[in-house]
């Protein structure tokens, strides 16, 4: 048992820039570090037994109550436990590890929607002589009093006091975070937890909250969101400090959440950035330039972040403000009316009059209408394809493909009027490739006559002689469309068909579909629609692999464009040891917003395991160290592109194949899951 009162360490408040360019820390562990987190000292460390009977991992921080006395003294009751629910000593004397805890107190003024923090600090400029600015932040110098050691229960008394005139009838919130380090026991990386507690000091029920965007939306890309060293993961906590009272002294840029996050994600597409003014936040003497951020989907897709599930999910369309709208459209001068149809706006009172929450027409002044993505417009006719059957499928024959094309209403589509339609023959399905009896032929069936949207097309190319196993017929189509033709809002769009695949046997053996490794749905979590590639005709992963096969090489750089190699390399981006160049584009500039150790962010269950790699063909001309790479090592080297990794893979490959499974198999000490482990 441990008893007594404890003083908090004085720390500067965490505010301003996020841990990486896209809100999260990308920290890929080396194998030894990852293993120490999973195998070594997980629950017990013999070397530490003399000091502690056991060493448990984890930290769980909860706020269970709060109070403001008449004199403004703010107190909160919290619990801090390990992964087993056992209380932790905040000073690290009676339990293993060191703890750092930070606390914030804030309230929502009557009639308003955003927080004002009681806990503030004065931040000085670093890169210039601008005057200091007051910012919301964490409390400093408060006192901890132990209540119960077994449950890790404490009372925290803030040094910051609420004014004597504080409004006891409005929502108040205490936020906090705990970070636990066990580096002294061989476990790398901090364990973190955060929490908030809402209450009304006079005892009334809480009816007003700020709940606009959830971390669930953020975590679609950020996996998980973890700012300021990883300790802040919930949006309900973030909004306590990221308020409109917080201004960066070096740049006078606000870090109010609705402005900061819009501008940060807009990044290189901000009008101000395009005009040559970088978007910079200076935090703790670190200069962060967010001007090079490229959002992985069309920024007009507001519901990507403002998704259903929060109480104010519709704020983006029901509550327009100059600050929120001007954060993306930062070339609008609301005082003069510049770039605002010459209409000055001195308050937010009239915003809703023009910018309504319901669209009448694409691209109108309503908020949903103004943010319509042309290629996603509901007014597009749509192209729906179905392969009804394939005959004449023996080797050395030309396949005959019967297919149907309709629009969204089920009406027949005249394929001769489409901008592009292709029938593709590819195989074998074990590994698409060109050569060694592997083929990829693309043909245009647009001249074939049809009836009621049904067409039969005989390919001019043939299935290679003596072919065996299964092959694929796929179809792609798109159409260039003009939306609102003849109006001032006339806009070009691409009507994209979802590609379809049809698998068949060429030798009467059982039909084998091409294995699924990743899913389009997982890609869509960040990219929303893969139709942004290749003009919109190939927005499905099962279609991508037909071309991006082991034999495909970039014509300029001669680097592999095999899908495993290409996608790993692109998403590894700035953390690659060597440039990955396709054409004239160097993808080493890409900033991945998630955690690359989480293979399931893209992969279907266990398809990333070396035990389950179904590929057989060598990957030709990877462009780095070896002219040909075996399939498993090729996938791994897409991320781990160092010379040492290539040498390791080469050393462990013989005429019998790759020996990766011996060390990296699912039940091995250095399994993929162990090597990529994270807290």
- Claim to verify: residue 500 and residue 572 sit in the same structural domain: no
Q: Contact at 8 Å (CB) between 637 and 564?
A: no
Q: Residue 105 above 90 pLDDT?
A: yes
Q: In terms of domains, do 567 and 504 share one?
A: no
- Do both 122 and 239 map to the same domain? yes
Range of the domain at 396: 375-515
Q: Both 58 and 198 in a single domain?
A: yes
User: For position 86, what pLDDT does the model report?
Assistant: 95
Q: Residue 463: CB partners within 8 Å, gap ≥ 6?
A: 393, 394, 395, 396, 397, 398, 399, 425, 427, 439, 471, 506
Helix (H) or strand (E) holding 480: strand 470-483
Residue 123, beta-bridge partner list: 133
Confidence of residue 28 (pLDDT cuts 50, 70, 90): very low
Quick one: 507 and 561 in the same domain?
no
Q: Do 672 and 620 belong together in one domain?
A: yes
Residue 131's SS3 state is coil
Half-sphere exposure of 185 (CA within 13 A, CB side): 29
Q: Are 432 and 514 in contact (CB under 8 A)?
A: yes
- Residue in the structure block whose two tokens are 């179905």: 386
Shared-domain flag, residues 510 and 635: no
Alpha-carbon Rg for the chain, nearest whole angstrom, is 29
Q: How far is CA 405 from the centre of its chain?
A: 35
Residue with tokens 């005249």: 414
- Say whether pLDDT at 16 is over 80: no
- Same domain for 125 and 228, yes or no, is yes
pLDDT in tens, 613-634: 999 999 987 767 777 789 999 9
Residue 671 and residue 608 in one domain: yes
The reported pTM is 0.87
| Cα separation, 60 vs 179, whole angstroms | 9
What pLDDT, on a 0 to 100 scale, did the predictor assign at position 34? 27
d(CA 426, CA 504): 11
Stretch 115-120: mean pLDDT: 98
- Cα angle, residue 254 at apex, residues 248 and 255 outer, rounded to 5°: 90
Q: Do the domain assignments include residue 64? A: yes
The answer to whether residues 154 and 80 touch, using CB atoms and an 8 Å cutoff, is yes
SS3 69: coil
Q: Is the pLDDT of residue 40 over 60?
A: no
Q: Are residues 165 and 86 in the same domain?
A: yes
Contact in structure between 272 and 331 (CB atoms under 8 Å): yes
| Band (8; pLDDT cuts 50, 70, 90) | very low
CA–CA dist 268, 589 (Å, integer): 13
Give residue 191's pLDDT band: very low, low, confident or very high (50, 70, 90).
Answer: very high
Last-in-domain residue among 250, 268, 288: 250
- 15 in the same domain as 141: yes
* Number of folded domains that form the chain: 3
**pLDDT score for 7:** 31
- Model confidence band, residue 227 (pLDDT cutoffs 50, 70, 90): confident
pLDDT of residue 39: 33
Residue with tokens 């030894």: 32
């Amino acid at each position: 048992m441990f008893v007594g009162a404890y003083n908090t360490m004085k720390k500067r408040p965490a505010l301003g820039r996020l841990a990486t360019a896209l809100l999260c820390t990308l920290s890929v562990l080396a194998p030894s570090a990852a293993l120490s987190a999973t195998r070594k000292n997980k629950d017990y460390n013999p070397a530490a037994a003399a000091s502690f009977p056991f060493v448990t991992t984890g930290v769980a921080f909860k706020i269970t109550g709060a109070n403001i006395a008449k004199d403004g003294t703010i107190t909160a009751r919290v619990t801090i436990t390990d992964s087993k629910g056992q209380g932790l000593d905040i000073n690290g004397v009676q339990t293993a590890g060191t703890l750092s805890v930070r606390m914030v107190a804030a309230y929502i003024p009557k009639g308003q929607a955003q927080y004002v923090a009681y806990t503030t600090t004065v931040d000085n400029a670093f890169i210039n002589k601008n005057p200091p600015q007051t910012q919301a932040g964490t409390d400093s110098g408060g006192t901890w009093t132990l209540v119960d050691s077994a449950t890790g229960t404490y009372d925290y008394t803030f040094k910051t006091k609420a004014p004597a005139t504080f409004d006891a009838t409005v929502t108040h919130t205490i936020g906090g975070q705990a970070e636990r380090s066990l580096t002294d026991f061989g476990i790398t990386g901090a364990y973190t937890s955060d929490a908030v507690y809402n209450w009304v000091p006079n005892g009334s029920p809480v009816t007003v909250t700020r709940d606009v965007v959830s971390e669930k939306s953020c975590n679609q890309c950020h996996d998980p969101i973890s700012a300021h060293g990883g300790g802040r993961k919930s949006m309900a906590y973030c909004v306590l400090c990221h308020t409109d009272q917080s201004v960066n002294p070096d740049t006078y840029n606000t870090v109010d959440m609705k402005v900061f996050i819009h501008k940060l994600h807009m990044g290189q597409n901000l009008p101000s950035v395009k005009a040559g003014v970088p978007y910079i936040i200076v935090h703790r003497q670190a200069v962060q330039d967010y001007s090079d951020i490229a959002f992985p989907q069309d920024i007009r897709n507001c519901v990507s972040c403002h998704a259903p599930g929060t109480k104010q999910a519709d704020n983006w369309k029901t509550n327009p403000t100059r600050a929120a709208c001007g954060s993306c459209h930062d070339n609008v001068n609301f005082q003069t009316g510049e770039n605002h149809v010459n209409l000055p706006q001195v308050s937010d009172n009239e915003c809703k009059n023009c910018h309504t929450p319901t669209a009448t027409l694409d691209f109108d002044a309503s908020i949903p209408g103004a943010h319509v993505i042309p290629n996603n417009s509901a007014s597009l006719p749509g192209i729906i394809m179905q392969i009804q059957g394939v005959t004449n499928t023996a080797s050395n024959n030309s396949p005959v493909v019967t297919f149907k094309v309709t629009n969204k209403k089920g009406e027949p589509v005249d394929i001769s009027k489409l901008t592009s339609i292709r029938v593709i023959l590819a195989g074998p399905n074990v590994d698409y490739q060109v050569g060694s009896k592997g083929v990829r032929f693309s043909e245009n069936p647009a001249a074939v006559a049809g009836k009621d949207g049904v067409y039969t097309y005989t390919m001019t190319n043939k299935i290679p002689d003596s072919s065996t196993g299964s092959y694929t017929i796929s179809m792609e189509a798109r159409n260039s469309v003009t939306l609102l033709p003849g109006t001032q809002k006339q806009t070009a769009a691409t009507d994209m068909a979802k590609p379809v695949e049809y698998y068949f046997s060429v030798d009467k053996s059982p039909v084998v579909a091409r294995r699924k490794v990743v899913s389009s749905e997982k890609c869509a979590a960040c990219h929303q629609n893969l139709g942004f590639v290749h003009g919109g005709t190939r927005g499905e992963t099962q279609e991508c692999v037909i071309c991006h096969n082991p034999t495909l090489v970039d014509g300029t750089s001669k680097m592999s464009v095999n899908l495993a190699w290409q996608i790993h390399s692109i998403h590894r981006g700035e953390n690659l040891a060597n440039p990955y160049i396709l054409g004239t584009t160097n993808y080493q500039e890409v900033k991945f917003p998630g955690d690359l150790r989480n293979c399931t962010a893209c992969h279907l269950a266990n398809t990333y395991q070396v035990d389950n790699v179904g590929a057989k063909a060598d990957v030709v001309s990877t462009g780095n160290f070896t002219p040909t790479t075996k399939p498993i090592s090729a996938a791994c080297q897409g991320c781990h592109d160092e010379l040492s990794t290539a040498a390791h893979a080469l050393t462990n490959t013989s005429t019998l194949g790759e020996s990766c499974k011996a060390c990296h198999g699912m039940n091995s000490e250095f399994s993929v899951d162990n090597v990529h482990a994270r807290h």
